[in-house]
């Protein structure tokens, strides 16, 4: 879309907030449907293939992994045998997400929590209704490496779609989202310890129920590949908590005020001299979210075409850093 046309559309939406809200919520709902359908398809086709009950399962981690573990445990003690395992998985996944939904609603944002819960409900629904024929479209049950990589890519994409819409796919994603906002760091690494514990418990139960050391070992190894692939996809696509460090050299004294009027970030200004021109310069140091970096650069270049800007990735920041609140 042409930039001027986009500016007109944006301006029109700003003066019609109700229509803007409706369009935003519609877009988020469509993203939620895609995210939940991808997650459900991934679970049914690659993590616990419906086409082969004896296939070595992958462990999903998070609340879904807890649901898998409970499912296996109840199989071990022959409790709730009258209920199909697929249905139990959907029920456990939904019930375990309720307290996490409350955390999201009270600590992150009402819209975030509401659509995250819709995502969970739809995922549980799709896990139950996806036909077996659909899960056989890509039938690689015996190829554990391919299953782990494809499952990681698809689940990472499902979570990332949710993150881009500023919601989550439920479960541990809500918790990691909360801590990532509080600590202002990347999302993927917060799940590692929890998933390791789930992996250990599930593998122990799996080993007891099947008495297959090879199957348990394969489950661990390829689940780790799944975890790694999924977390890399999430951290690559979800740039909300990534930071960019900007060092701006300009001759415009009012530049810091111009920047701070548009962006909610402070900066540090150092007076300097141009080495070649010997003219007065101002060096502005600031850190912004990666999604804001190009907008800051465009603004600076518009005000001072002769400015010099150094842009670099900021691994971690300490101190007060503004993160736009989630609705």
Encode the chain (327 residues) as per-residue pLDDT tens digits: 455 676 677 767 677 778 878 888 899 999 999 999 999 899 888 888 876 767 777 887 777 778 878 887 887 777 766 677 677 777 887 888 888 888 888 877 888 888 888 988 898 888 888 888 888 888 788 888 899 999 999 988 998 888 888 888 777 777 766 766 665 555 555 566 777 788 888 878 777 776 666 667 787 888 888 888 887 887 777 666 678 899 999 998 889 999 988 888 888 899 988 888 888 899 999 988 887 888 899 999 999 998 999 988 876 677 666 666 566
Cβ-Cβ contacts under 8 Å for 282 (sequence gap 6 or more) = 249, 250, 251, 252, 253, 255, 256, 269, 270, 271, 272
Domain 243-314 has CATH 3.40.50.10860: no
Residue 249 confidence (pLDDT): 93
Cβ-Cβ contacts under 8 Å for 223 (sequence gap 6 or more) = 58, 59, 61, 148, 199
Distances (CA, A) of 162 to 37, 64, 83, 107, 295: 12, 16, 31, 18, 24
Residue 62 confidence (pLDDT): 76
Residue 99 confidence (pLDDT): 83
Residue 136 confidence (pLDDT): 80
Token pair listed for 46: 């690659």
Residue 38 confidence (pLDDT): 92
DSSP 47: I
pTM above 0.85, yes or no: no
3-class state of residue 183 by DSSP = helix
Residue 100 confidence (pLDDT): 81
Token pair listed for 171: 């479960």
Closest by Cα among 252, 60, 286, 14 to 159? 60
Cβ-Cβ contacts under 8 Å for 232 (sequence gap 6 or more) = 152, 156, 188
242 dihedral zone (left: phi>0; alpha: psi -120 to 50; beta): beta
Phi, psi of 305 (to 5 degrees): -60, -20
Count CB neighbours of 235 within 10 A.
Answer: 17
Residue 192 to residue 47: CA distance in whole angstroms: 18
Encode 146-179: b = buried (16+ Cβ within 10 Å), e = exposed: ebbbbbbbbbbbbbbbbbebbbbbbbbbbbbbbe
Distances (CA, A) of 68 to 48, 75, 88, 172, 277: 9, 11, 9, 14, 67
Residue 162 to residue 240: CA distance in whole angstroms: 12
Q: Domain limits of the chain? A: 3-237, 243-314
- What residues pair up with 283 in beta bridges, in sequence order? 249, 270
For the stretch 14-67, pLDDT in tens is 777 788 788 888 999 999 999 999 998 998 888 888 767 677 778 877 777 788
């Amino acid at each position: 879309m042409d930039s001027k046309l986009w500016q007109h559309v944006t301006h029109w939406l700003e003066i019609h907030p109700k229509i803007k809200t409706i369009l935003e919520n519609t877009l988020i709902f469509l993203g939620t449907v895609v995210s939940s359908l991808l997650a459900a398809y991934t679970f049914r086709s690659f993590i616990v293939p419906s086409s082969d009950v004896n296939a070595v399962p992958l462990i999903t981690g998070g609340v879904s992994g807890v649901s898998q573990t409970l499912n296996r445990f109840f199989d071990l003690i022959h409790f709730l045998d009258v209920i199909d395992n697929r249905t139990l998985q959907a029920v456990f996944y939904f019930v375990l997400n309720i307290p996490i939904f409350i955390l999201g609603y009270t600590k992150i944002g009402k819209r975030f929590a509401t659509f995250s819960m819709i995502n969970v409900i739809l995922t549980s629904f799709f896990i139950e209704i996806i036909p077996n024929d659909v899960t056989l479209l890509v039938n690689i049950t015996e190829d554990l490496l391919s299953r782990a990589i494809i499952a990681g890519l698809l689940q990472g994409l499902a979570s990332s779609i949710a993150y881009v819409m500023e919601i989550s796919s439920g479960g541990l994603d809500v918790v990691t989202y909360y801590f990532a906002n509080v600590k202002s760091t990347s999302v993927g690494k917060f799940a590692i310890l929890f998933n390791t514990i789930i992996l250990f418990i599930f593998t122990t139960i799996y080993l007891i129920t099947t008495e297959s050391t090879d199957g348990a070992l394969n489950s661990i190894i390829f689940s780790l590949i799944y975890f790694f692939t999924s977390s890399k996809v999430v951290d690559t696509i979800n740039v909300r908590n990534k930071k960019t460090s900007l060092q701006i050299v300009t001759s415009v004294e009012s530049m810091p005020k111009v920047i701070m009027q548009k962006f909610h970030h402070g900066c540090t200004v150092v007076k300097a001299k141009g080495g070649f021109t010997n003219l007065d310069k101002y060096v502005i140091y600031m850190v912004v979210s990666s999604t804001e970096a190009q907008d800051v650069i465009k603004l600076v270049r518009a005000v001072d075409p002769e400015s010099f800007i150094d842009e670099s990735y900021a691994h971690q920041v300490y101190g007060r850093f503004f993160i736009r609140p989630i609705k």
